[in-house]
Amino acid sequence: GRAQIGVTGLAVMGRNLARNFARNGYTVAVHNRTYGRTRDLVEQFGGEGDFVPAETAEEFVAALERPRRVMIMVKAGGPTDTVIEEFAELLEPGDVIIDGGNAHFEDTRRREAALRERGLHFVGTGVSGGEEGALNGPSIMPGGSPESYESLGPMLERIAARAPDGTPCTTHVGPDGAGHFVKMVHNGIEYADMQLIAEAYQLLRDVAGYAPDEIADIFRGWNEGRLGSYLIEITAEVLTHTDAATGAPFVDVVADRAEQKGTGRWTVQTALGLGTPVPGIAEAVFARSLSGHTELRTAASPLPGPQRTPMGRDEAADFADGVERSLYASKVISYAQGWDMIRAGSEEYDWHIDLSDVAAIWRAGCIIRARFLDRIRAAFTSDPWLPTLLADPEFAKELGEAQYAWRDVVAASVRNGVPAPGMSSALAYYDGLRAPRLPAALLQAQRDYFGAHTYQRTDREGTFHTLWGGDREEIRTDGG
């Protein structure tokens, strides 16, 4: 065999990744369950590089140099298991199977363990950037053994996106499911980012009274500054688009029900299991869910909201400035929650994920690519043990500077009846973490009252219970 890599599963993602490898000078074996897709790929794009089309799995495996590298790009779930099993049968110890689909990291852990038993390397890898990224350079988040990265890493580094400083947006994230875990959190952060941008839009529209094309201009301005990112850029593009059929702003003709494929939900479910607070991501998942509940929305639609007072031009411009601060501060909070979760996952599964590397490989190629990821990289480079992004001196300073505008914007959302669950929850997280005292003290006392769940004291060591039903004497329950 002479192909350095094989790609099986040639729908949009697989086809574009195969082309990306070929354009970078690799000989690529290509295979798909239905041969038509393989033939189409070679007919349409054969001129871009060196493809070896294979009709059967056996031909495909025979076309590969050793150790063989087989990248699977099929539908996540059952189909991925089927295809892994099909190829595992044909491969030999030392060969590498790569799953670039959107697998749940627990599935990746299971598959990696099973294939390791059979002497095969299994690399579950996150791939972000959609179709376009797959073709021109995605952000790639591979897990698996260090040995598999030695064999595969240089190829991934060639096809990955490049950060502004020229470094490839891929790295060995960690063992077994680490890559898919980090990809999952990426998607969770993406949900939060999108929700916050959407809230900023709605506040500019309903509170400040701007039209969609004016909001597009405001976003374009923000895109030049610290909020500069792919998502802000495409939001401005969407807001300038006019619907051809009606002549109305496109955003006004799209049904306001947001769908989801499930990676945001996975992030929140996993965070609940890890005991990591990610309320910003959770609010974003729930906001999509709420939007889709037409029956609830219809039933609640007669409920009264507050009277809104229109803003003058100057007031609106000031408000827009406050929304920028509020969006930025809330975004920092979402990323702080995401990184907290990556650290928690890394500790739970013993992955030793480098937190600054994660920021580095998201600087280009992926959906959340943004200017400020370089600052997150810098924060974790200067202090790998930084407990939270909020404690980084620069982010802390910016949050402090944003806080009054942030509070005003959240207050305006409440006063005007324009929901901003992402921004308000981000502010509550900020205030929650910095609070010298939380009402958790009262909660714990309630728990002790009804369930004898005990409590600790602020003034001395030990575990205590108050005999609430009796004379309220305090007893020590830890034998001290």
397 among known catalytic residues: no
Which of 82, 382, 446, 477: binder of ligand NBP (CB under 6 A)?
82
331 among known catalytic residues: no
The burial class, CB within 10 Å (0-12 / 13-18 / 19+), for 62 is middle
Give the CB-nearest residue to ligand NBP.
101
What is the spatial distance between Cα 80 and Cα 12, in angstroms, rounded to a whole number?
A: 16
Residue of 367, 184, 366, 337 whose CA lies nearest to 262: 184
Contact 203, 323 (CB under 8 A): yes
Nearest approach in angstroms of CB 64 to ligand NBP is 18
Mark out the alpha helices in 350-439 (DSSP H runs). Answer: 355-361, 373-382, 393-416, 421-434
Nearest approach in angstroms of CB 348 to ligand NBP is 24
Q: Given 112, 183, 199, 331, which residue is catalytic?
A: 183
| 56 binding ligand NBP? (CB under 6 A) | no
Q: How many amino acids of this chain bind ligand NBP (CB under 6 A)?
A: 22
What is the spatial distance between Cα 351 and Cα 360, in angstroms, rounded to a whole number?
A: 18
What is the spatial distance between Cα 206 and Cα 257, in angstroms, rounded to a whole number?
A: 19
Contact stretch for ligand NBP (CB under 6 A) within 12-20, 51-59, 295-303, 343-351: 12-20
Instruction: Give whichever of 353 and 367 is closer to ligand NBP, judged by the CB atom.
Output: 367
Nearest approach in angstroms of CB 113 to ligand NBP is 20
| 215 binding ligand NBP? (CB under 6 A) | no
Contact stretch for ligand NBP (CB under 6 A) within 30-38, 306-314, 339-347, 447-455: 30-38
What is the spatial distance between Cα 284 and Cα 456, in angstroms, rounded to a whole number?
A: 35
Contact stretch for ligand NBP (CB under 6 A) within 32-40, 47-55, 312-320, 360-368: 32-40
Residue of 402, 396, 397, 226 whose CA lies nearest to 326: 402
Nearest approach in angstroms of CB 101 to ligand NBP is 3
What is the spatial distance between Cα 112 and Cα 118, in angstroms, rounded to a whole number?
A: 10
Instruction: Give whichever of 128 and 413 is closer to ligand NBP, judged by the CB atom.
Output: 128
| 79 binding ligand NBP? (CB under 6 A) | yes
Contact stretch for ligand NBP (CB under 6 A) within 47-55, 104-112, 123-131, 299-307: 123-131
What is the spatial distance between Cα 346 and Cα 179, in angstroms, rounded to a whole number?
A: 11
Residue of 184, 163, 79 whose CA lies nearest to 369: 163
| 293 binding ligand NBP? (CB under 6 A) | no
Q: List active site positions.
A: 183, 190
Residues that bind ligand NBP (CB under 6 A): 9-14, 32-34, 37, 73-76, 79, 82-83, 101-102, 127, 130-131
